[in-house]
Chain A
Amino acid sequence: MLETRLKPLLEVKDVCQSYLTGSGETGALVLDHVSLTLKEGEIVGLLGRSGSGKSSLLRIISGLAKPTSGEVTFRGEPVRGPFEAVAMVFQSAALFPWLSVLANVELGLRAKKVVEQEARTRALKAIDLIGLDGFESAFPKELSGGMRQRVGFARALVVNPQILLMDEPFSALDVLTAETLRTDLLDLWVEGRMPIKSILMVTHNIEEAVLMCNRILVLSSNPGRISAEIQVNLQHPRNRLGPEFRQLVDRIYALMTRRKEPTYAGREGTFPGVGVGMALPEVSMETLAGLIETIAGPSFKGRADLPALADETAMAVDDLFPPAETLQLLRFAEIEEGDIKLTPDGLRFAEAEVDVRKKLFGEHLVAYVPLAARIRAVLDDRPSHAARKARFLEELEDYMSDDYAEQTLKSVIDWGRYGELFAYDETTETFSLENPT
């Protein structure tokens, strides 16, 4: 008895996962030798920004995906596919729109050949537990986002899993709804009214992780590695404004922005890939300019504490980090130990007129974004001063997946248009040096 309590419920050993590039070859690492254990009675948070592979890790743990190497074991048994002891809650709830609430909850049981009568009783109990009484016959499209996610929870709980896996279950909800749902879930957990033994949740929201978890694993990006493990020993219910809570949040921000030593020459470290093959995040010019202005503004005067900046701009880690890191890549800002500081050029940008801004941005773009420089060079080289989009897309697909290649090119087009490095015509999908007159 004691033995089983001390043994880990679930173990992830040395798991690696790689992207597939557009040509089907194995590309950059998404997860790099990740190991973790999950014990009974704890809520563990996987915290990381987008691109850290946290969702991939969750899918490997649930058996939905296979790792390139490494192994997942549940109570010592290797995991080879989806298995009954785990249940998953998805970000978008992922309900079957053609089934009623009751039928959605019952589906997992009926699939397992639980007889109709028993399935009905258990489903009604789960619906009751999660606070959906009275909505049994409703269809998903009649429900609000929060209610839909409750159905998602009921569907996961009804199969009596030992581990509940949650993939950012609150991030698609508005702030108030998310808070209600978190509190309700924590109440059920603390009071022991759910049959589950342990919860593993993926999140990009630092406060959410500190609010809910006993243990937080911070994943670094590119490739995803576990960079820190933090015990949270606060009593439930936790007070978001308490000094210990704030301290923890600050500490995690600092951890997540700690500057990495370059692993090898020429590597930027922030985004995956090197040189032209660097995968860029989807960040619009509006966001970049807005962020520079906010940091330069009266509240921060050129240097901002990231948690405070997140508060001021109402952005979560996932929203804030990509633009902040793009500014760092362009040398308009530096990020260090939870702070972001504008460089002299960043400050100049903030104060300049539109034309000067465009010129400055264009210069930095050519200097620090290799793909932008490559496009410009190709256009300068050719007598026609024109090049097809496909030419660059194919080049990118040697380094990364199709989706990332599209996204990267989209960002570069947006930035390049603003910096007037080149023109792009959507109808013909060509880059050129002429601006429409």
Chain B
Amino acid sequence: MSSRFVAFASLGRKALPNQFDVIALAVIFAGFIAIVHGTRGMILPLQAPQSTISLAYANLPYYALRTTLRMFAAIFFSLLFTFTYATWAAKSRRAERFLIPILDVLQSVPILGFLSFTVTFFLGLFPGSTLGAECAAIFAIFTSQAWNMAFSFYQSLRNVPRELNEVANSLLLSPWQRFWQLETPYAMPGLIWNTMMSMSGGWFFVVASEAISVGDTTVNLPGVGSYLALAIDQRRIDAVVAAILTMLAVIIAYDQLLFRPLVTFGARFRVELSGGEHEEKSWVIQLFRRTYLLRALIAVPAQLFKRLALLRLELPFHPELSAEANRWRERILDALSSGIGLLAGAWALWLVYRYVSTHLTFAELGQAVWLTSITMLRVIALILLASLIWVPVGVIIGLNSRLAEKIQPLAQFLAAFPANVLFPIAVVLIVRFSLNPDIWLSFLIIFGTQWYILFNVVGGASAFPNDLREAAASFRVYGLDWWLMVILPGVFPYYVTGALTASGGSWNAAIVAEYVKWGNQTVSAHGIGSYIASATAAGDYPRIVLGVAVMSVFVIFFNRILWRPMSRFAERRTRLD
């Protein structure tokens, strides 16, 4: 079920980065550099508001609430972004040529590395107020959520079945009505699934972004993340455990009250018309359906929305479609927009080059490339290791439908759990037994993301057709043959989806996982993650830009050269439906 919904920008596009990707990359980094330049001019050090965090357990429910609210604020902005950016890209051919590569690159930029920039930027925007810090945290979560939601929405808008579009035309729906009656409902299952995946990933960022130090500036926002940071600072293992338990409770509530009900709700918008499909259940939905009071409670906003969606909201002008007259205008506008895009790209490229070359030497570029290679090796090795363990386990669980029903939600739950809450425990162990951080810190990278592999493989194995299993059994295909010829190809598309998600998350996790603190003790591994993290701690902006840029380029190539061909292959050769 999940493989259909994966939204990954580079999948639909040409394999190797083209000029639009270069433009997008240059523009994005030039933007970051501009932020650095802009904020440099302000009075340093920045006025960071200090909230006093207390390690008393009684404060935890309040902190959990603040953390959750931050999450919802971010998801609100992500939805806003999705509905505007993706719609624009889907409706305007001209805008699409620039917007989609930008989205694609943004998806590959390890945004955690830029936390320092965004913090500086927002603190500068609201000097001396907590609002700036809140905005920075919310923005960090937003950047972890928005891209794949927007891409899923864009893809759905582009794939609305032709006949349904014609129905909307012949019923004379206005653009506004078409958007709410046809396009949004059609995009709903994919959007809900991606929103849920985004929120699951977002907990990680909310914890990481609440407490952050850039050079001499330290920002603390009341929340579980700051509580944890303070616990680490004061070496209070009991408080770390309390934070873990609190996060556990929050994720359980999120899973039960939001994730499951929404996925069940989303099933209603599926287009395939075959009935009798396995329906996902949610006790919250049951409760709402059966309880009169709750039903009445949602009836009012639902009714209001229905009315709003049926308004015509006609644009004051009608684009007249006289083909001949428009063709020339279209061509001129095309050329014009391409020209502006190329110019902006070239200028941005020059800006990046000038910035990096005045602050850094080529030797440092070489070092960054080398460190990124180490991190890449780490990511590959750990994805392989996780696959070796979780694919067989997932297959065995998936083929047992009763077990799968229990494990599947558990794995989804574990994927949502912010693994960085557990990092201090790992550090304590590494310090205690004086283990080699280059090896043992590596496991933290995959700690939170391995579950994506597990639950996708479980999903794939439980969707494996019984006919094929029986055919294999009747031809006496057992042992290694059975694994290689029957089940592994069968779950392959699901595995690719899971591994792709896991790999994306792992790159981001590297920034937090390669450089970990316990009190005043710092444990770090060699890699681009620790390079960026230590540059952030030192407030060394040119190195942050260099590190994140090199990492982004690596991630883009990694996705294009490894994951995209694999997904295409899975799509073409091993799809069972």
Residues on A lying within 8 angstroms of B by beta carbon are 59, 62-64, 66, 82-84, 86-88, 90-92, 94, 96-99, 107-108, 110-113, 139-142, 148, 159, 426-427
Contact = CB atoms under 8 A, between A and B. Distances in A.
A107 B573 contact: no
B52 interface: no
Contacts of A90: 163, 166-167
Q: How many residues of B sit at the interface, in one of the four size bands?
A: 20 to 34
B274 A96 contact: no
A328 to B, nearest CB: 32
* A108, A111, A139, A148, most chain B CB atoms within 10 A: A111
Contact of B172 (A84, A139, A142): A84
Interface string B529-566: 00000000000000000000000000000000000000
Contacts, number: 72
Given A64-B166, A66-B321, A94-B167, A111 B185 contact: no
B312 interface: yes
11 contacts: A64-B169, A82-B170, A90-B166, A90-B167, A94-B163, A94-B166, A96-B185, A107-B173, A111-B173, A112-B172, A139-B268
Contact of B171 (A92, A98, A111, A141): A111
B58 to A, nearest CB: 46
A267 B169 CA distance: 38
Contacts of B272: 141
B68 interface: no
Interface in B270-309: 270-275
B328 to A, nearest CB: 15
Contacts of B572: 426
Contacts of B166: 59, 64, 88, 90, 94
A97 B269 contact: yes
A62 B275 CA distance: 32
B68 to A, nearest CB: 29
Interface in B150-186: 161, 163-164, 166-167, 169-174, 177, 181-182, 185
Question: Is chain B's binding surface mostly helix, strand, loop or mixed?
Answer: helix
Interface of B: 161, 163-164, 166-167, 169-174, 177, 181-182, 185, 188, 268-275, 310, 312, 321, 323, 569, 572-573
Contact of B273 (A91, A108, A141): A141
A148 B164 contact: no
A82 B268 contact: no
A148 B167 CA distance: 14
A426 B573 CA distance: 9
Contacts of B161: 94
A32 B358 CA distance: 67
B310 A110 contact: yes
A102 B225 CA distance: 50
Contacts of A83: 172
Contacts of A98: 185, 188, 268-269
Which 9 pairs from chain A and chain B are nearest by CB? A94-B163, A108-B171, A98-B185, A98-B269, A88-B170, A141-B273, A141-B275, A94-B167, A82-B170
Contacts of A426: 572-573
A103 to B, nearest CB: 9
Contacts of A97: 269-271, 273
